[in-house]
Structure 1
Amino acid sequence: MNASDRPRFAPDWLELRERADAAARAPELLRPLRERLSAQPAEAGPDGSTQGLVIRDLGCGTGSMGRWLAVRLPGPQHWILHDHDPLLLEHAGARMPVTAADGTPVEATTARGDLADLSAADLAGTSLVTASALLDLLTREEVEDLAEACVGAGCPVLLALSVAGRVELTPSDPLDAEIAEAFNDHQRRTDQGRALLGPDAIAAAVAAFERRGATVLVRSSPWRLGCVESALIAEWLRGWVGAAHAQRPELAPEAVAYLRRRLEECAAGDLNVEVYHTDLLALPRPVSGSA
Structure 2
Amino acid sequence: MSGFSTSWLALREPADRAARDAGLIARLTEALSGRKRLAIVDLGTGSGSNMWALAPLLPGPQSWLLVDNDPALLEQAQDSSRTLTDRDGRPLVARTMLRDLAQPGWEDVLARADLVTMSALLDLVSADFVATLARAAKGAAIHATLTVDGRMACLPEDSLDEAVFAAFRHHMDGDKGFGPSLGTRAGEMAASQLEAEGFRVERAPADWHVGPDQPSLLVALLDGWIEAVRETGRLPEAELSRWAARRRAEAEAGSLELRVGHVDLLALPL
**What is the TM-score normalised by the length of structure 1?**
0.87
In 2, the alpha carbon distance for the partners of 1:180 and 1:102 equals 45
SS, match of residue 214 in structure 2 = helix
Query: What pairs with 1:3-152 in structure 2 (closer than 5 Å)?
Result: 8-40=3-35, 42=36, 52-96=37-81, 97-115=83-101, 116-119=104-107, 122-151=109-138
**Aligned partners of 1:74 and 1:104 also within 8 Å:** no
User: How big is the shift at 1:251?
Assistant: 2.6
User: How big is the shift at 1:7?
Assistant: 6.8
RMSD over aligned Cα atoms: 1.7
Q: How many residues align?
A: 267
Q: Give the letter for the 1:20 counterpart.
A: A
For residues 10-63 of structure 1, give each alpha carbon's deviation from its aligned partner in whole angstroms, at most 9, with x where no partner exists.
1000000001000001111012211211234x3xxxxxxxxx211111001111
User: How big is the shift at 1:161?
Assistant: 0.2
SS, match of residue 194 in structure 1 = coil
Structure-2 residue corresponding to 1:243: 228
Q: Which residue, 207, 210, 226 being the options, matches 2:192?
A: 207
User: How big is the shift at 1:191?
Assistant: 5.0
Change in 2 beyond 3 A, CA 1:280/1:252: same
In 2, the alpha carbon distance for the partners of 1:210 and 1:56 equals 21
Structure-2 residue corresponding to 1:45: none
User: How big is the shift at 1:250?
Assistant: 4.2
Q: Which residue, 128, 136, 140 being the options, matches 1:155?
A: 140
SS, match of residue 81 in structure 1 = strand
**Aligned partners of 1:147 and 1:205 also within 8 Å:** no
User: How big is the shift at 1:122?
Assistant: 4.6
Unaligned runs of 5+ in 1: 1-5, 43-51, 286-291
In 1, the alpha carbon distance for the partners of 2:243 and 2:185 equals 27
For residues 76-113 of structure 1, give each alpha carbon's deviation from its aligned partner in whole angstroms, at most 9, with x where no partner exists.
21111100111111121111242122212212111111
Unaligned runs of 5+ in 2: none
In 2, the alpha carbon distance for the partners of 1:192 and 1:159 equals 19
Q: Stretches of 4+ moved more than 6 A in 1? A: none
In 1, the alpha carbon distance for the partners of 2:109 and 2:226 equals 40
User: How big is the shift at 1:194?
Assistant: 1.6
**What is the TM-score normalised by the length of structure 2?**
0.93
Change in 2 beyond 3 A, CA 1:173/1:132: same
Between the two proteins, what is the percent identity of the paired residues? Answer: 39
